[in-house]
Amino acid sequence: MSLTLSVYDDLKIRLGTTADMDEIMQLATSAAKENGLLEANPELLVRAVWPKLNLQTGLIGCIGKPSGKIEGMVVLQIGKLFYSNETCLEELVLYVHPDYRNAKGGRAHKLVEFSKSSAEKLGLPLLIGVLSSAKTEQKCKLYERVLGPASGKYWIHGRKTGSFQETAIGET
């Protein structure tokens, strides 16, 4: 009996490197436009991404087929909360390119698992969440399946996520 691999069985998560900068920046820019609560500044995105590709202030998990295009990513920052000297692992963004969201393979699920595993390997608590006005309940259920019950909720007054995507779409 032979076992055939499905197209999605060869998805791999790997650490992003400086060679991935252009692709990561494209994904980061898309994520900022789509989730956009505030207008994205490309220079600030570079300042956030570059040290993580060098494993200085965190790491970036990239998902895709080996030697293929990056289909999604999670940007994880190692740092401290304003009130503590203890270190934690904080998710800045988890993003799957729209072309791969409905494809088989569970990219977002795998990236949440990668985040959890990274925190466990580093021996750090993980702060991760959903800041989105679109498909929020579906995203929360995914996180709960991997991480267990949520620890709170988040409210935004005076704006909604995705507001800069709507502006960007209107400009094109």
The pLDDT value given to residue 3? 35
Q: Is the residue at 134 inside a domain?
A: yes
Counting every residue written for the chain, the total comes to 172
pLDDT at 158: 81
pLDDT above 50 (res 167): no
3-state SS, 119-164, equals: HHHHCCCEECCCCCCCCHHHHHHHHHHHHCCCCCCCCCCCCCCCHH
Residue 34 within a domain: yes
The reported pLDDT for the residue numbered 165 is: 58
Q: What is the DSSP letter of 96?
A: E
Percent above pLDDT 90 for the chain: 58
Q: What is the mean pLDDT of residues 57-74?
A: 94
Evaluate whether residue 7 is within a structural domain.
Answer: no
Q: How many CA atoms lie within 13 A of 55 on its CB side?
A: 7
pLDDT of residue 154: 77
Structural domain for 89, as ranges: 12-165
Q: What is the pLDDT of residue 170?
A: 44
Instruction: Look at residue 145 and tell me whether its pLDDT is greater than 60.
Output: yes
Residue 54 pLDDT > 60, yes or no? yes
State the CATH number of the domain containing residue 152.
Answer: 3.40.630.30
On the question of pLDDT at 137 being above 50, the answer is yes
**Structural domains in the chain (count):** 1
Q: Domain for residue 3, yes or no? A: no
pLDDT value, residue 168: 45
21-42 pLDDT, tens digit per residue, is: 999 999 999 998 888 778 889 9
Residue 171 inside a domain? The answer is: no
Is 5 inside a domain boundary?
no
Is 4 part of any domain? no
Q: Is a pLDDT exceeding 50 seen at residue 143? A: yes
CA distance 11 to 2: 20
